[in-house]
Structure 1
Amino acid sequence: MLDIVIEARQAELSPGFTVKRILPFRLRRMVGPFIFVDHGGPLNAPTGSINNFDVLPHPHIGLSTVSYLFSGNVTHRDSLGVEQLITPGEVNWMTAGKGITHSERFEDPAMLAGGELEMLQTWVALPEKDEESDPSFENYKPEELPAFTDTGVWMRLIAGDAYGLKSNVKTHSPLFYVHVVLQQDARFGLPSGHSERGAYIVRGRVEVNGVTYHEGQLLVFTKGVDPLIIAKEQTTLMMLGGEHLGERYIWWNFVSSRKDRIEQAKEDWKQGRINLPPMDNKEYVPLPDDKTKPAGGPPPNALS
């Protein structure tokens, strides 16, 4: 029924900014192509302190980052010259490919006045043939995304295909990523057609096969098994998965099917060979001390 239940762990991105880290986990590094999941917030920051949580320019290779906000907003700037204010319900899909840098800044006056922030950030590993593709960034508005409602159920298909719906978000491999809100006692099934499937409980509680699970848990389901998910109270889920791409190495913000490629990316960042965002190039995150092997997962300050 369930391969594993992963409990979110605490990870500090910057002083005072702690997130729930779900993937990678030592016993389950990926679900489909999803290799990294962080849940930040809900965060109510004191006036004037939210910009302390800014994520300075930093590099990526070999993956797509997906930023999805429940509340608040953040300004994205990258080395392609893109500047995008990210707001709730949008899909912001940045493909690093052979290399990109970006920053995430909290600059909105409402946020600076103590507004709430809550977001999920995921990394999607790229197929080997696309790991050295040109970098790109796309922003998709909520009205561009397929949605579905039924008695006690609301869902938005963020990317991929599920439940007979298909998103226009450009992806590189078969996957699904769905935002679901269930009212108490609502019943919901898993999408078919994907070999690896998981459901992260953002808030609320659900019952699966007579067992109750709670906020902060990722349920990873057994292939070919299709249990009902029953909401014990109003519940928000992020459902994700797809087809497995093979093993990947992950170190800091770098993902690759090859260890030597990660070593090259580390050296490129140290030597300044990866361009900074042209509109945010006065500071950056230095390469962490290399105290872990590439296969060991990201250190606690890994950023998306």
Structure 2
Amino acid sequence: MTYRADNARYDTMKYRRSGRSGLKLPVVSLGLWQNFGGTRDYPGAMEILGYAFDQGITHFDLANNYGPPAGSSEELFGNVLARDFRPYRDEMIISTKAGYNMWPGPYGEWGSRKYLLASLDQSLKRMGLDYVDIFYSHRFDPDTPLEETMGALAHAVKSGKALYVGISSYPEKETREAHCILKDMGVATTIHQPSYSVLNRWIENDGTIDACGELGIGIIAFSPLAQGVLSGKYSSGNKTGTRGENPNGSLRASHVEPRVLEAVDKLEAIARARGQSMVQLALSWVLRRTEVTSALIGVRTLDQLKDNLGVLDNLELTPEEVLAIDEATREGQMELHPRPQGWLR
């Protein structure tokens, strides 16, 4: 049966402008990082993607290396576009990125013009698109001149292959430099995609979030649930059936050490008092900042998506609740900060 979008899809979702641009994003966006690769069948993917769009999630975030295997998320999303989403393309914001390893040799990762523009062409082919709405430099490359990396982003816009460009996981200093270089090229840095959660506040600690606010760059926060630690599945001493059991997974042992899980226990009590799930409290906290345009979620099941969307019922935090959350998490911070090799993705 051909998909038909719900006529009421824009009735409940809230949208925010990305910095000082004309681009608006839903406060909850859907990322296709780990759960929409080669192991996901089409009906299972369409159940989640179709429901998301029916609820007003217009932004779908991808990258060249998303899968597994790398490239398979874009291929799957391309199939969804061709079979079901094509009539709604102009209602959607589709983003992709390049920066992590994709093919052998010196031109298969990082931030060279050669790699970024070749990768963008490959991504467009996998998704069957003429352009993406947002193209990101996925991580700062310490060995390539930033002028070259930003020049490739500017070229993507001027060639019509991307409408907007952004950066991901760039620290404060490099964020300011990237913005300045792009501005001189006549292109705006529309959006920054850093990791950010109540347990991972590096963009506050190094000033990146303040820089984005000052420069008019929107923020879309990835891993707002701290790699699932704030999913509600974790409590002190309990890792059963979660990614914390997998030594090869994206979740580090340091993410589920006792001091972190003690903070999670305290947050659980605050969430209950607000009539929210842990997931919803975590998203409310990320979205409390005016600099944050959207929280980028990743889900495996439709029930998880519905839980995330429940945040729309209670987005506001009182000053007293913010203070209580700060106190609850004071000793449970993960103290993550982007490094050249990156800590994830």
Q: Is the structural similarity TM-score above 0.5?
A: no
Q: Which structure features the higher share of helix residues? A: 2
Structure number with greater CO (CA < 8 Å, separation at least 6) is 1
TM-score between both structures, scaled by the size of structure 2: 0.28
Q: Which structure features the higher share of strand residues? A: 1
